[in-house]
Amino acid sequence: MGKNFDAVVFDYGGVMITSITNKFVPLAERAGTSVELIREVVMGPLGISTNHPWHCAERGEIPLEQIQAGLQPYADEYSIELFGDEIETVYSNTQSGLTKPYTIIKPMIEKAIEVQIKGFSIALLTNLFTEFYPTVKKELADVNFDAWVASSEEGTRKPETEIYKRTEELLQVKGERILFLDDFEPNLFAAQEVGWSTIQVTDPLDAMKKLDNELS
């Protein structure tokens, strides 16, 4: 076992599955605005936790179906027209109805299993709506995580400090002994604030190489 770590924590979106960010491209084109602006209207401000309906749903405070109704004030702030189907579009399947709006990254799932076999504890730490928790459990059924930490289950979301502390408690591992993989920089910064080491996942295969180096 690598001398520096006892546990590896994996994000879900952008790490175990491909990012859904591409779903905002048609929304931006339709609204005549940038991907960055429409994403902020729909998903809330980046890098902080607020009372935006998306953030509230990730903390399990409201159901997914209530997000759309709460977006108008954020759209008005940027004079962006909403069409009432933004949330549905982000999470919709393709026109054929046969595929999901994302792809499971199988090599990363296999890597998590490999890491655990080598003797490290592993956890999933994700901002996740209550409605999708059963789906994620099913998709990652092959991975016997030592801890599942979903924001809607815990009532706290990344980058709030509390969810990182909760992960430590569930793993029974101190922060300085944890290595964390996430695709979103603010979540990594927050983890670093509580003593975790981090790897930003921009290319999953490259991230897995970095993970191997850190654990060797």
Q: Where are the domains positioned within the chain?
A: 7-19+102-215, 21-91
> Comparing C-alpha atoms, which of 117, 167, 142, 120 is closest to residue 11?
167
Q: Which segments in the chain show pLDDT lower than 70?
A: 1-3, 93-100
Residue 128: CB partners within 8 Å, gap ≥ 6?
Answer: 12, 58, 136, 150, 151, 152, 153
pLDDT of 98: 40
pTM score above 0.95:
no
> Comparing C-alpha atoms, which of 155, 202, 195 is closest to residue 61?
155
> Comparing C-alpha atoms, which of 15, 43, 7 is closest to residue 139?
15
> Comparing C-alpha atoms, which of 147, 88, 14, 199 is closest to residue 208?
199
pLDDT of 1: 45
pLDDT of 61: 98
* Burial label, 6 (beta-carbon count in 10 A; 0-12, 13-18, 19+): middle
> Comparing C-alpha atoms, which of 188, 194, 180, 196 is closest to residue 158?
188
Identify the DSSP state of 17. B
pLDDT of 45: 94
| Structure-block tokens of residue 199 | 């790897």
Give me the CATH topology for the region 7-19+102-215. Answer: Rossmann fold (3.40.50)
Cα separation, 44 vs 53, whole angstroms: 8
Q: State the residue for tokens 């997000």.
A: 67
